[in-house]
Amino acid sequence: MALFLPRRDFLYGLGATLGTVAFTAMSAEESGEPAAPRSARGPHFPEAKAKHCIFLYMEGGPSHIDTFDPKPKLNELHLKEFQRSGEKQSAMSSGKRYYVESPFKFRKVGESGADLSEPWQHLEGVADELCFYRGCQVESVNHPTANYHVNTGNRFGGDPAIGSWVTYGLGSENKDLPGFIVLPELAYPQGGAANWSNGFLPTALQGTPLRPKGSPILDIAPPQGVTREHQRENLDFLQELNRKHADRHSEHEDLLARMNNYELAFRMQVQVPETLSIADETKGTLDAYGIDQQPTDNFARRCLLARKLVEKGVRFVQVYASTWDSHDYIAKAHGNLIDVVDKPIAALIADLRQRGLLEETLIVWMGEFGRTPDNGIRGGGLAYGRDHNPDAMSIWLAGGGCRAGHTIGATDEIGAAAVENVRHVRDFHITLLRLLGLDDNKLTYYHAGRFKQLSQFGGEAISELIA
């Protein structure tokens, strides 16, 4: 007796053959999903409030104990010596150790009673917009692999970044700008551009970094003597040649991606200068962010640009602040770093709220891991710092349907490890997708013989973080 399979099941069973291509195309056609990777599309969860994400990444590993998670027990243990063995929190965690108190006093602020260390002066004004999470844990203790883990879900790199997954799932609301834009410092974070790679997703979904100094994108203006009309004519001619070649060689997907990138680059030459200009901002706005002030100017400009980009429909913006790796002199190091980011971040939240954009813009603040409550002594006195700690960290969210005004989870009495509402970073990734209306189990892409997803192999959203 002949056995007949439904058309969809037959094509699915062909796995990585041409049948997969047909299946993907057919699924898109039947679901109404646009074929272009950057085309805007609806979320899996229509009730989700967040439409955009601004990801504030504190590269180097900010100390939870010295920012948002006070540990008075360490005042009793300060500089008490002990021996550690058999643990591998970081390359320097074995042998003679000393407990380290925080050099900062803490206070409770806002109606929510949020914990802030004393250097945070401006964040106090928006504290009730924040949702603190103290239960997240990661796996890696080295900066490059930890950065990859937080940014891509894979410690070894090569996979798509969160921004690429979000743009893959939701597309972009602005056809003239990339859906995923990165605002790094002058030096890239450890691990480099792989932190915002598209991985195995279409190349149109990779993060586009804007340079912090000089022209944000090279060749943003046409060469001298070349008009926009000439550019348009040349591009149309090139696209015609490429299209004919693509018709004869439909298996060359890179050519189609290159054609789309040429077209986007042309449109960006018109859109980017206008978007990046702050000439239309009021003096009050510039002052609130800390622009043309020290030490905030550089980070403030990037925070203001992040707001302008989400206003223009960019789906995912990642803003980097580096050098949080305070193994020594943590009072000076973390104190200076907080001074750099405190005012711009508070202004960003207040600005989005005033413009009615905070509810639809999810803001994330985190680094690649937290820091230990102890360290090997470095010169005594105020020279102490902290090592890398994958078992405890501070994260906060704002806007986008998060549970504002709450602190979720807890670490132990010295901040060594999370002990309440403890979840792996993959669950945090799933939660971010959920807040943006995306289902990690449905947001998959067929690659190397299986359907892949941001969480790698699934997990659960942290419901306590969602309003």
Could you please report the per-residue DSSP string of 397-422?
Answer: EESTTB-TTEEE-EE-TTSSSEEES-
Would you give the distance in Å from CA 18 to the centre of its chain? 34
**Separation of alpha carbons 180 and 186, rounded Å:** 19
Minimum mean pLDDT range among 14-18, 292-296, 372-376, 460-464:
14-18
Range in 93-102, 120-129, 411-420, 432-441 the model is least confident about: 93-102
Question: Residue 34 contacts by C-beta under 8 Å, 6 or more apart in sequence?
Answer: 28, 40, 41, 171
For residue 83, list its beta bridge partners.
Answer: 96
86, HSE (Cβ side, Cα atoms, 13 Å): 0
What percent of the chain is modeled with pLDDT above 70? Answer: 76
Angle of helix 228-248 versus helix 253-276 axis, rounded to 10: 160
| Alpha carbon separation from 386 to 60, 73, 344 (Å, rounded) | 12, 16, 26
The answer to whether the beta carbons of residues 114 and 130 sit under 8 Å apart is: yes
Burial of 280 (0-12, 13-18, 19+ CB in 10 A): exposed
Number of H helices, E strands in the chain: 11, 21
Confidence of residue 177 (pLDDT cuts 50, 70, 90): confident
Structural domains present in the chain: 34-224+281-465 (3.40.720)
Q: How far apart are alpha carbons 299 and 184 in whole angstroms?
A: 10
Q: Compute the distance between CA of residue 244 and CA of residue 187 in angstroms, rounded to an integer.
A: 41
Distance CA 248, CA 219 (A): 31
Pairing of strands 316-321, 106-109: unpaired
Is the pLDDT at 368 greater than 60? The verdict is yes
Least confident piece of the model among 38-47, 102-111, 147-156, 245-254: 245-254
Cis upstream peptide for 295 (omega within 30°):
yes
Task: Tell me how far apart the alpha carbons of residues 402 and 130 are, in angstroms, rounded to a whole number.
Answer: 8
Q: Is the pLDDT of residue 131 over 70?
A: yes
251-304 pLDDT per residue, tens: 566 655 555 555 555 555 666 667 778 888 999 999 999 999 999 999 999 999
Tell me the HSE value of 439 on the side-chain side, using a 13 A CA sphere: 8
User: What predicted TM-score, i.e. pTM, was given to this entire model?
Assistant: 0.83
The answer to whether the beta carbons of residues 436 and 46 sit under 8 Å apart is: no
Q: What is the C-alpha separation between 294 and 99, in angstroms, rounded?
A: 34
Structure tokens at 209: 């970094």
CB 403 within 8 A of CB 128: no
